[in-house]
Structure 1
Amino acid sequence: MTDASRRRWLGSTAGLALAAATRPGIAQGAWPNRPVRLVVPYAAGGGPDMQARKLAPELAQALGVNVIVENKVGAGGIVAGEVVAALPPDGYTILIGGATHVINKVMQPAIKFDPIRSFEPITQTSSSGTVLIVPSDSPYRSVQELVAAIRAKPAAFNYGSGGVGTAAHLAGGAFCKVLGLDAVHVPFRGSVEIVPGLLGGQVQFAFPIAGTAIAGTRGGKVRALAVTTPQQMPQLPDAPSLKELYGSELLVQESWGCLWVPAGTPRAIVDRIFEASHKALQAPAVREFHEQGGTPIVLSKSPEALAELTRAETDKWARIIKLIGVTPS
C-alpha cells in the first residue's frame, strides 16, 4: 500500500468511527450495553409501579441487560414526562406513559412536553376503563334506574372523584352532560376517598378505575352498574357498556398505558424495544398480574399505531374536557 492510499484508508476509517461515535447508542458499542431505566410517574407501591416491577425482569431478559425501575413522582405524571422528554434519545430511558399524560397536556398546554411530539412511540401496554358504581345497599340496580332517579330530582345527587381532571371526574362529567343529567361533582382529596365517600353517603355514585371497582364488588361493598370500556368487562359480567347503552363515543373512556422514549431515538432502537416489550408483556406472569388488577394487556401492532392512538385520544379528550367545562390552566 502506497503512502497516499494508506492516508486515504486511514481517513475513511476515522470518518466511519466518528460517525458511529455520534450516533446515540453506538458510541460505546451496540445497543444496549448498559442498564435501561423504566420510569414510573407514580409512587412506589401503587398499581402502575407494581406493574412496572412485574415487567422489568421480563424486559431485562428480552433485552439482555438490567432494567431498573425508577419512580419520578409529581404533578400527576407531569414531572416524569418533562424529565424524560429532555433526556438524550439514546434508548436507555423508557417512560411508562399513557392517557394521563394526554389529559394533562390538554388541560395544561404550558407543560414542557407534548405526548405527540416529545416522544417516540413504542407500544400500548394496557387499557382499563372506569366503572359506574353505587353502594351495595343502593336502591338502584341498573343504569336506567339511576338515570331516572337523577332526572326526577335535579341537583339532588352527587358524584365523587379524586379531584378535578381525574378519570373519575371526567367520566362522571361526561355521563351527566351526554345524558342531560343535573348532578353535583364532589372532588375528594384523592381517589382513595371515593369508595369511603360513597359508603358514607357524601356521594351517591362514582366512576373509580376498574381495579378499585372490581375489588369493591368482590368485597360486597359496591354494585357495578356500567363500564366505560367499548364492551363489557369479563370481571363484571352484569355491568353493560355505556357506549352500548347510549351510543356516544364520549362515554368510552379508557385509561391506557404505553411506553415512550425521547423524540429522536433511532428507529433501530425503537424497533428493538418494541419487540422486547411485546415479548415481556406477553409473559404469563405479567399478563396474569394485569388481568387480576382489571388492566388487561393491550399491544399496538406497530409504533405508528400507538402514534395514531395518541393523536385520536388527544382530540377526544379535548372534546370531553370542553363538554364538561373544565378550563385549561
Structure 2
Amino acid sequence: MERRTFCLGALGAGLMLDRAARAAPAYPSKAVRIVVPYAAGGGPDIMMRQFGPLLGAALGQPIVVDNKVGAGGVLAAQHVAQAPADGYTALMGSNSHLIQKALQPSLMFDPVNDFVPVTAIATSPTVLVVAANSPYHGLQDLVDALRASSRKLNYASGGIGSGAHLGGATFVTLLKAEAVHVPFKGSVEIPISLQRGDTDFAFTIAGTAIPQVKSGKLRALAVTSREPLAELPGVPPLYDLLHSDLAVQEFWFGIWLPGKSPAVAVDKLFAAATAALKEPSVRGMFEATGNRVIQSASPRADAAFVRDEYRKWADIIKLTGITAG
C-alpha cells in the first residue's frame, strides 16, 4: 500500500513538472535589458543603441538599453550580478570590469565567476597622442625625451585606473623611464590639456583620438593594437618598440549574463549576436565610434578569453604598481 501510494505520488509530481515545463514560455518571451555602464551619448552607449535593434531582430524580442553609470562600471556590474539569472538582464561587460576588480579585490562582484560571458562584440585600441604643435614628431622623439629630458614629462588620463592611466604607466615602465601622471575628472579633458600644453602626451581611446588627429588638433605617435590601424596610416604599433604583450592594450566590449543563467538563454543570445554582427551595416557603425567588430567562436571561447584578459590586466597592474588610491 505504501509503495503504491509512493508510486502514485511520484507519478503525480512528474506530471506536474511536465505540465509546468510545457506551460513555461519559450525563451525569449519578452524584451531583454542590456545594462550599459557608460553615459548616454558616449561611444559605447551609441554603439549598443545602434547594435540593439539588429540584435533584437535576430533574437525576436526588443533590446532595451539601460544606462547605469558610476564607479568605473562597478555599479552596473554589481546590479547585473544580483539580477535574476533568467536571461532577461545582461551587462555590457568590458575589460574595465576586470581592471576595477584587479585594482580593488574587495569589490562586491567577481567578473569571472559572477557572470556567463556570451560573446565579445567590439574592440578598440588606444592611441599615443601629443599636441599638433608638440616638438615630438615621431615615437622615437618622445622616447628620447623621456630618457634624457632634464625635467620629467607628464601624461594625462581620465583618472586612476583608466585606460589612459594604464597605457601611460605601462609605456613608461617598459621604457624604464619616468613621467608624472596627471589625472583629470574625465577623459574629455585629455585633448584640451594637450592642446593647452598642460600635459606632454596621453593615451586616448581610438574613437576620441582619430577625429582629433584628422582635424589637425593632435598628432598620433603609436597605437596599442598589435597591428597598425587603417585609419592612422604610418602610425606604428607600440608593440614594435617595446616587444611586450603587455603593451598590446585593446579595450573590448561584450555581452554577459548573470551567473547560472539558463543555457538556452546563453545559446540563443549568442546565436542572435553572431547573426547581427554579420550584418554589413554593423562594421560601419562600429568603425564610426573607433571600434572594430570581433566575434567569439562560442560562449565557452568567450569565457576563456575573459579569463585570459583578467590575468593580463592583473599583470599590467602589478607591473606598473598602480593602486586604487
Q: Normalised by the size of structure 2, how large is the TM-score?
A: 0.94
Alignment partner, residue 35 of structure 2: 39
> SS of 1:214's equivalent?
helix
> SS of 2:118's equivalent?
strand
Cα distance in 2 for residues equivalent to 1:294 and 1:176: 25
The yes-or-no answer on 1:84 pairing with 2:80 is yes
Alignment partner, residue 100 of structure 2: 104
**Post-superposition shift, 1:245?**
2.4
Alignment partner, residue 62 of structure 2: 66
Alignment partner, residue 230 of structure 1: 226
Alignment partner, residue 190 of structure 2: 194
Task: Decide which moves more: 264-273 or 191-200.
Answer: 264-273
Report the RMSD for the aligned CA atoms in angstroms.
1.9
Q: 1:301 to 1:8 in 2, by over 3 A?
A: closer
Task: Give the alignment partner of residue 180 of structure 2, picking from 159, 177, 184.
Answer: 184
The yes-or-no answer on 1:257 pairing with 2:253 is yes
**Post-superposition shift, 1:91?**
0.5
Amino acid at match of 1:13: L
Cα distance in 2 for residues equivalent to 1:194 and 1:222: 11
Cα distance in 2 for residues equivalent to 1:137 and 1:7: 83
Identity %: 47
Alignment partner, residue 118 of structure 1: 114
CA deviation profile, 1:174-205 (whole Å, cap 9, x unmatched): 00000111111111111000000000011111
CA deviation profile, 1:47-94 (whole Å, cap 9, x unmatched): 111111101111111111111111111111100100000111110011
Alignment partner, residue 324 of structure 1: 320
Q: Which runs of 5+ in 1 are unaligned?
A: 21-25
> SS of 1:207's equivalent?
strand
Q: Normalised by the size of structure 1, how large is the TM-score?
A: 0.93
Q: 1:204 to 1:31 in 2, by over 3 A?
A: same
Task: Give the alignment partner of residue 17 of structure 2, picking from 15, 18, 33.
Answer: 15
The yes-or-no answer on 1:287 pairing with 2:289 is no
Q: Which runs of 5+ in 2 are unaligned?
A: none
**Post-superposition shift, 1:285?**
2.6
Cα distance in 1 for residues equivalent to 2:206 and 2:62: 31
> SS of 2:293's equivalent?
coil
Equivalent pair of 1:106/1:328 in contact (CA under 8 Å): no
Task: Decide which moves more: 34-43 or 275-284.
Answer: 275-284
Task: Give the alignment partner of residue 270 of structure 1, picking from 260, 266, 269.
Answer: 266
**Post-superposition shift, 1:281?**
2.3
CA deviation profile, 1:193-252 (whole Å, cap 9, x unmatched): 000000001111110111111011111101101001111111111111111222111111
Equivalent pair of 1:231/1:244 in contact (CA under 8 Å): no
> SS of 1:124's equivalent?
strand
Alignment partner, residue 145 of structure 2: 149
Q: 1:27 to 1:164 in 2, by over 3 A?
A: farther
Q: 1:154 to 1:32 in 2, by over 3 A?
A: farther
Following TM superposition, the consecutive aligned residue runs of length 4 or more in structure 1 with deviations greater than 4 angstroms are 4-11
Cα distance in 1 for residues equivalent to 2:228 and 2:291: 13
Task: Give the alignment partner of residue 49 of structure 2, picking from 46, 50, 53.
Answer: 53
Q: 1:234 to 1:9 in 2, by over 3 A?
A: same
**Post-superposition shift, 1:154?**
5.0
Cα distance in 2 for residues equivalent to 1:11 and 1:166: 54
Alignment partner, residue 23 of structure 1: none
Cα distance in 2 for residues equivalent to 1:192 and 1:267: 40
